[in-house]
Amino acid sequence: MKELILGFVQGATEFLPISSSGHLALFSRLMSLPSNLTFFAFLHLATFLAVFVLLWQDISSILIGLVRMDKNYWILASKIIVSSVPAGVVGLLFEEKVESVILSQKLVGIFFLLTAIALWASDRFAGQKTMMSISYKDAFIIGLFQAFAILPGISRSGFTLIGALLIGMTRIEAFKYSFLMSLPVTLAAGLLKLPEIHITGITMLSFGGALFSGFLSLIVLRYLTISAHLKYFSFYLIIPAILSFLVR
């Protein structure tokens, strides 16, 4: 049952800009479960599928464009790869240190507060750039924002959206790009840990819970991103931040 709860928590918080890793660390502590990074990485496959379903039209357009050797889509795909590199490098080099950060729940609380401040400021930013018109430099900058999200309490979706808005993307394009660039990272994270997972009925229920709640949270985030209301999450993040300072 506790693993099923963690599945729902993973799905709901993976896409909402409130940090899934921070919430999983907090809920694991509250429910006296070990912070199992292997299990958390497996749940990334569920959230990968949620993004794949919601953005299927954009994903299929890119795939068809690549097959047809459309230069614009090949450039877009290469930008997505550039955006994925920083997080991949940081993840490979600092995974063990992230585990030690999870052991310090108070530090996670500080990162929750940093995410809250960043989201509060993000509604002021936006521009006219599209996924097709951003430069490779822009793509790399967004990737750097994603790399910060390796820290539990720092939201991947929140920080990549902030990065995309800062470099001048429109809100809907920032939303799409943020989650398209998440696909390589979440897929790799899940597949790398898949051989270590012991598949049980509870494990698959957790997977299903993460998929269902992830899809719903994506729809909510798309609406709040377009309507420039990400700051609402800033108020919410005060709660897990306070809990992180209180739990032992």
pLDDT at position 174 over 90: yes
Find the mean pLDDT for residues 45-64. 89
| d(C-alpha 137, C-alpha 160), whole Å | 14
25, 35 Cβ separation under 8 angstroms: yes
Give the structural domain span for 18.
Answer: 2-246
Reported as a single tens digit per residue, the pLDDT across 102-114 is: 557 788 888 899 9
Counting the structural domains of the chain, the total is: 1
Higher pLDDT, 50 or 66: 66
| pLDDT for residue 7 | 66
Higher pLDDT, 108 or 180: 180
Predicted confidence band of residue 34 (pLDDT cuts 50, 70, 90): low
- Whole-prediction pTM value? 0.80
| d(C-alpha 5, C-alpha 102), whole Å | 19
- Rounded percentage of the chain residues whose pLDDT exceeds 90: 30
pLDDT at position 66 over 60: yes
List b or e across 4-33, with b for residues whose CB sees 16 or more CB atoms inside 10 angstroms: bebbbbbbbbbbbbbbbbbbbbbbbbeeee
Reported as a single tens digit per residue, the pLDDT across 134-149 is: 999 999 999 999 888 8
Q: Which of 218, 219, 224, 223 is nearest to 236 (CA)?
A: 224
